[in-house]
Amino acid sequence: MTGLLYKELRQNRLILLGAVLIPVMLAFVTVISVAGDAHSLQNALNVLSGNIGTVTRLFMMLLGMILLALLTSIIFSMDESKKWAYFTASHPQGYRGQLYMKYVVLFMVLGLYFVSMYYMDALLQMLVYQVTGAELTGFTNLYVIVFFLQIFVNAWNIPFMVRFGVKNSAYARCIALLVLVVILLVYLLFGPLPGGWDSYVRMVTDFLDQLLKGELNGIISVIFGAFPLAAVGLYLLSYRISCKLFMKGAAEYVK
């Protein structure tokens, strides 16, 4: 098992490094993107402390999730080979051991990304406060949700990648996501919105504000409180499912 762990860490060392560096890059790009016509660092940080800065930080967080998804898919694409799959099946630890280590390394990647993202945001908040005296809206609660959301999403994705391959499963997920986006856009454009578009936008912004400040209550707070446990539970179940699908997927590898 130690050999498999060393193999995964060695094979995915750049991905682990990327998980740490992506938040660093995004924090730098965030400051640069709000600079615009600002002629000094202080002016740029003043812009960052306003609503434009909040939207920019949210956009950069979304971009980071996309980049992280690309990185994590590489973890499984590296071993898409019939020869390696059959060799792994004959290994004393078997393919179950290999899948277990891939799940462990993926969890490490997500954890490193979360820690790096948290500290870079804290550094950005400190920089803005020291230069401008303004306090940025803390994203800690949102980052925690994003961390477990990544676990939840990967728990769904991995069995598809194991069974159909990374490329084919990516096509299927893109099509499903495109359909959902189209349905959402059609509803937002033509569907009945509670109180109209302005009311809907206000409802979403109020929800995000309560989420960032940790002021959710009622059934929503219960759902968000139970979500981390549900995500971890699904992640463990995902490993079991992937083990059952591994050999079927290996038989269809092109190489």
Q: pLDDT at position 81, please?
A: 59
Q: Is residue 112 part of a domain?
A: yes
Q: Is residue 155 part of a domain?
A: yes
More confident residue, 173 or 99: 99
CB within 8 Å of 160: residues ≥ 6 apart: 169, 172, 173
Mean pLDDT of 7-34: 83
Per-residue pLDDT of 82-134, as tens digits, reads: 555 555 655 656 667 778 888 998 999 999 999 998 888 888 888 877 777 77
Q: Is residue 6 part of a domain?
A: yes
Q: pLDDT at position 196, please?
A: 56
Q: Is residue 255 part of a domain?
A: no
Per-residue pLDDT of 213-245, as tens digits, reads: 666 677 777 777 788 899 999 999 999 988 887
Q: pLDDT at position 34, please?
A: 67
Q: Is 11 helix (H, G, I), strand (E, B) or coil?
A: helix
Q: How far is 118 from 138, CA to CA, in rounded Å?
A: 10
Mean pLDDT of 150-165: 83
Domain, as residue range, for 23: 2-250
Q: Is residue 33 part of a domain?
A: yes
Where do runs of H (alpha helix) occur along the chain? Answer: 2-11, 13-35, 41-48, 51-77, 82-90, 94-132, 140-164, 166-190, 196-213, 219-250
Q: pLDDT at position 113, please?
A: 92
Mean pLDDT of 61-73: 82
Mean pLDDT of 30-35: 72
For the entire predicted model, the pTM comes to: 0.78
Place of tokens 């189209």: 182
**First-to-last CA distance in the chain?**
26
Q: Tokens in use for 33?
A: 């993107």
Residues in the chain, total: 255
Per-residue pLDDT of 188-221, as tens digits, reads: 666 665 555 556 566 666 666 666 666 667 777 7
Q: pLDDT at position 85, please?
A: 55
Percent of the chain whose predicted confidence (pLDDT) is above 90:
9
Q: Is the pLDDT of residue 250 over 70?
A: no
Q: How many domains does the chain have?
A: 1
Q: Is residue 7 part of a domain?
A: yes
